[in-house]
Structure 1
Amino acid sequence: MSSSSTINRAALRKGIGRAGFFCLAFGAMIGVGWVTAMGPWLQTAGPMGAAIAFAIGGLLMLFIGFCYAEVTAMLPVSGGEVAYAYKAFGTSKSFLVGWFLSFGYLSVSAFEAISVGKILSYLFPAIDKWPLYAINGETIFGSHLLLAFVFVALITWINYVGVQNSIRFQVYLTIVFLLIVVSVGAIGFWEGQVSNLQPLFAQGADNTVIGGIIAVFATVPFWLVGFDTIPQGAEEAKDSVTPRMIGILILVSIVAAVLFYILLIFSTSMVTDWPSIVGSDLFTAKAFELAFQSKFLVNGILVAILIGLLTSWNGFFLAGSRVLFAMGRGKIIAPAMGKSHEKYKTPYNAVLFSGIITFISALLGRGAMIAFVDVGSLCIAAAFLGVSLSYLRLKTAFPHQSRPFLAPGGKLTGYIAMVGSLLILLAITLPNSPAALKWPLEWAILLALSILGTIFWTVSKQSREATSLEERDYLILERFK
């Protein structure tokens, strides 16, 4: 039996402070959905329906967040959910949670890579050059793929050379983003008309009021996921950031993001007759352009879009690479994923792998954007279910382990989070659900993810079986085992 003192456990550099953790989570959550998906939200559910969907989804995320806050403070190690599921249920369940979560994150990364071309083509229509092929009726331009490659390379490089650079990048951009968006939102409320909110709920031949709310609610995990980037970086927290503070920051970031989305839904809907432009690309920018005829205001929104895209992308990219790193370091998958760069102390192989997967996914183009939202929501909801179950199991199996943060409600909180996660999964998978995965693209992406996971699990069998329980405990849990 190996002694933990002789095991080489790859270490990551500590460099994330309180502001860094908040901006990591909030910046990941705000993204570009408030622009690229605002039209579909309103078309599906209307302003009030979309706000209700986010309020209900936000409340559910808060219960899930309580579970995260307790187990993250209990086990502040890289990879978060991988460690919780491992301690609660063992290696195979840990892999399932980690695999779905990492690709939930990378689906967001792919969404952002595709969005770069869409946003810049709105600014500069002339960049739509070199049409190559079409998917779901959307043409994929060579120029967009080139942009995706450049930005993927940038995000990959930032995360390759050190967490301090990544967090500094995140904090500065989040501050600028908030300055712009808060100003735009305030203008919308000040100059907008309450009468423009009508109709409050959208309904038509294809959906009812309740159906519209459910359809938006089912995607809320995708738009609010990001608070769980904090657990991925917990091991890289500065000494001044206590485990309890990490748990609190998870909850603060959820509340801030829910308020952000709801306020922007109302602010944007108030500035113009929203049903008349609901099919427009970049709905938020279009609404303010028509309302104020101000190029400066629209350009400000477009700058905020790009910043939100980068903060979201950077946060999820960092988180996804940490989940893969944690599984590799624990020898659940290929140990190469668990290596730390000698100079930068970053999970460089996991970072490079994440960059490659992101760019390959971006090849599917705009026609796959909603597909990545839906598949990503399923993967993330599956991971949320895993964390809820881990929370409940850890409450029972390890009642005396130190818990710097205690979730209110005890096991009841875990059961609510579990049921909520199951409801989201059912909304996405049941055939007659308004938010069900669509054939063939969305199911094809999910199938490809499952096949790739099976390959990773199978190929890693030898190294996994050669690792003793004591060694894996130390590699994943370190001193918190």
Structure 2
Amino acid sequence: MDQLKQTSRSLLRRRNIQDMLAVAESPGRRNHLSRSMGAASLTMLGVGNVIGTGIFFVFSITVPKAGPAVVISFIFVAIIAGLTALCYAEVASTVPVSGSAYSYALTTLGEFPAYLVGWCLMLEYGVGAAAVGVGWGDYLNALLEAVFGWRIPQWLSNGPMSDTVTGVINLPAVVLVILCAVLLMRGVKESARITVILVVVKISVLVMFSVIAFRSFSSDNLSPFAPNGFTGITAAFPAIFFTYTGLEILATASEEVKEPRKNIPRATGYAMLIVSSAYLIVVLAALGAQKWTAFDGQEAGLSKILLDVSSSKLPAIILAAGAVISVFSVALTSMYAQSRMMFAMARDGLLPRGLSKVNPRNLSPNRCVVTTAVLATVMAAILPMSKLWDMISIGMILAFIVVILTVFYLRRYMPDLERGFSVPLYPWLPLGAAAACVWALTTIPEATWTWFGAWMIFATIVYFGYSRRHSTLSQHRAEDLETLTDGELAAGG
């Protein structure tokens, strides 16, 4: 009985927030990241990771379910994401450390719940990079066909589990992941500069699409507005949540942001405003330009719409080229977030400690980048996009809920912590966000929960087989001591 109680207590052991902040602010340590991003770079990083995540290819999945009422689905999800973003802004400006919801859970819910949250986030980021890679290949083929009249052979552009034509490997997706890994290993400054350029490109092509599509707007295309009723509107939720994947990257990057208490809330607000506005404009333009029944099974959908409504191929070519270029930034930032997630967990001993080493030249956790690239490459090579969407949404929404709970915990037990931003109308806005997230989870198909359960079972096996014994909150090995503060040693001892 005593052993059982001891085990239970160890599962819920928590990291002291002040110790966590001390580690993040300890320059010169081998597991220290560099604070090099300002508000503008962070905003671009957020927009770059969110816009393009699904907006270029989500319509073929969501419009057949909801019809033109998919615009209502987008508004619902935007509200949920916006409320949660406020909670992220408060927590990230209070505890500006790497790891996002995982690190927050480690200080509030305890080690084992935090560990599972970390695996949820790794599911979101890793699978997200793979899904984006698969969608990127569709636009690459659309561009090649429009310009050269040639497509990559189907056996090289479809994985063995493809929903359409069975192939051997999705080569475009693999190439995208490898390119992103190479760039990330050059360091966050270089990645941030490239991201700014790519954000400008993707905003430009979406503006071009909207202007041309609105010229062919027909109200007849919006009828019937909700052919599948409210059930259809909610059925579109999981895939639309995917279009907001990466929202929490602003918090994940906290440890690499200058003046985080000021810049994180500011960047979060700017990014959400840009993303939500762009989505609603593009959705309305697409729905008005094409009958909702035509979206079903449509590859490179936005490019196809421009081909149909324009007298020239040039706009469709420009959009396909813009998608090929800008979706690259989504995979880049997804892999960035995944590598930082692994870094945070490895630094806490919950993953092999070797992953917490950073390259001394550019302060990048290159081992995490390589590991992320390998996992994303395997998934992108063999799995179709349709099998990846809902899994990502589960991890994302559960992380949202953890962040909302962290707001309540910090307000209740640590009211004197310095905050760069506070959620207005507390506690009603956080409560509303939590209720909306729980409701959104009920819209995810049962089969997806089965796969998610298998992922969590595997994570649990790893925890009891390795992580629990090697955690820095357990006993420390001699070679780990140089990377820990005195406060961490006290917490672990």
Shift of residue 322 of structure 1?
Answer: 0.8
State the distance in 2 between where 1:82 and 1:338 align: 15
**Candidates 21, 36, 58, aligned match of 2:57:** 36
Change (3 A) 1:264 1:146: same
Q: Secondary structure at the match of 2:165?
A: strand
State the distance in 1 between where 2:424 and 2:30 align: 34
State the distance in 2 between where 1:361 and 1:327 align: 22
Change (3 A) 1:171 1:134: same
The aligned counterpart of 2:152 is 127
The aligned counterpart of 2:5 is none
Normalised to the residue count of structure 1, the TM-score between the two structures is 0.87
Counterparts of residues 33-432 of structure 1 (less than 5 Å):
33-47=54-68, 49-124=69-144, 125-130=150-155, 134-135=160-161, 137-142=163-168, 145-203=170-228, 209-238=229-258, 241-366=259-384, 369-428=385-444
In structure 2, the gaps of 5 or more residues are 1-18, 145-149
Change (3 A) 1:77 1:221: same
The aligned counterpart of 1:433 is none
Change (3 A) 1:153 1:24: same
Change (3 A) 1:361 1:24: same
State the distance in 2 between where 1:71 and 1:9 align: 26
Change (3 A) 1:162 1:52: same
2:477 aligned with 1:451, yes or no? no
State the distance in 2 between where 1:301 and 1:375 align: 28
Higher mean alpha-carbon deviation, 457-466 vs 299-308, is at: 457-466
Change (3 A) 1:42 1:336: same
The answer to whether the 8 Å contact 1:58/1:255 transfers is no
Shift of residue 242 of structure 1?
Answer: 4.3
State the distance in 2 between where 1:363 and 1:222 align: 20
State the distance in 2 between where 1:212 and 1:262 align: 18
The answer to whether the 8 Å contact 1:196/1:270 transfers is yes
State the distance in 2 between where 1:382 and 1:10 align: 28
Residue type at the aligned position of 2:406: S
Q: Secondary structure at the match of 1:438?
A: helix
Shift of residue 477 of structure 1?
Answer: 9.5
**Candidates 460, 475, 482, aligned match of 1:466:** 475
The aligned counterpart of 1:27 is 48
Identity level (%)? 22
Q: Deviations over 1:417-460 (max 9, x none)?
A: 222221122222xxxxxxx1437xx7446524641553255223
State the distance in 1 between where 2:303 and 2:488 align: 46
Paired residues, what number?
A: 457
Normalised to the residue count of structure 2, the TM-score between the two structures is 0.85
Change (3 A) 1:52 1:129: closer
State the distance in 1 between where 2:32 and 2:142 align: 43
Residue type at the aligned position of 2:287: S
The answer to whether the 8 Å contact 2:64/2:295 transfers is no
Shift of residue 283 of structure 1?
Answer: 2.0
Higher mean alpha-carbon deviation, 254-263 vs 184-193, is at: 184-193
The aligned counterpart of 2:16 is none
State the distance in 1 between where 2:450 and 2:166 align: 21
Higher mean alpha-carbon deviation, 129-138 vs 241-250, is at: 129-138
Structure 1: 4+ residue segments shifted above 4 A: 2-9, 470-478
Q: Secondary structure at the match of 2:170?
A: helix
The answer to whether the 8 Å contact 2:102/2:117 transfers is yes
The answer to whether the 8 Å contact 2:53/2:242 transfers is no
The aligned counterpart of 1:438 is 447
2:39 aligned with 1:13, yes or no? no
